[in-house]
Amino acid sequence: MAYFLSLPADAGVRHILQLNPAAGRALIEFHEALLRSDSQLKSREKELIAAYVSGLNDCAYCYGVHAETAAAFGVDPAIFEEMLADIDTARVDARLKPILKFARQLTLEPSRATQAQADAVFEAGWTERDLHDAVLTVGLFNLMNRLLEGHGVKGSAALFAERGQALKEAGYAPLLGHLPLP
């Protein structure tokens, strides 16, 4: 049950964003611009990072939605628990592991991120744009995790499956239709 009486029992992101439509619109547009524009880091990897960060933060809603979205993009669902347990042994592309380690650092102890961690990302063949997109994704989902948790919104398995498939198929832009026009 959401903490805000104005939110329905089955509240989701779209309901929270309606509380401040201008901010909601900007946030949805940011999601679309970041998560559906490709650098070498594709949408499936960004959704995997979103789920990973959300799992680290124990945000059931974002973890559920973005694990389902990544799965819809073809990521093996078993990977998420493996990643949360140990990135080194998780069955994730070795090239992605330095980015995931950096994501973990930025989520759990951001002030302790190091040049060596960034260099490991570059040594794996990623560009500055790729790391920038990863950092933006980590920042966005740390924000989103706090937004959902701060409103007391938890979601359900049915909602996660429905939203995950919808986000894979149509991206984030359709969420703008839930907000009043400016």
pLDDT tens, position by position, 45-81: 999 999 999 999 999 999 999 999 999 999 999 999 9
64 Cα distance to chain centroid? 10
Which two three-digit tokens encode residue 67? Answer: 């694990």
Q: Could you give the CA distance from residue 150 to residue 141 in angstroms, rounded to a whole number?
A: 13
- Give dist(CA 115, CA 74) in Å, integer: 32
Q: What is the mean pLDDT of residues 30-49?
A: 95
- What secondary structure does DSSP assign to 25-36, as a single string? HHHHHHHHHHHT
Cα(77)–Cα(142) distance, integer angstroms: 21
Percent of the chain clearing pLDDT 70 (strictly above): 100
Q: Name residues whose C-beta falls within 8 Å of residue 170's C-beta, 6 or more positions apart in sequence.
A: none
Say how far apart CA 92 and CA 75 lie, in whole Å: 9
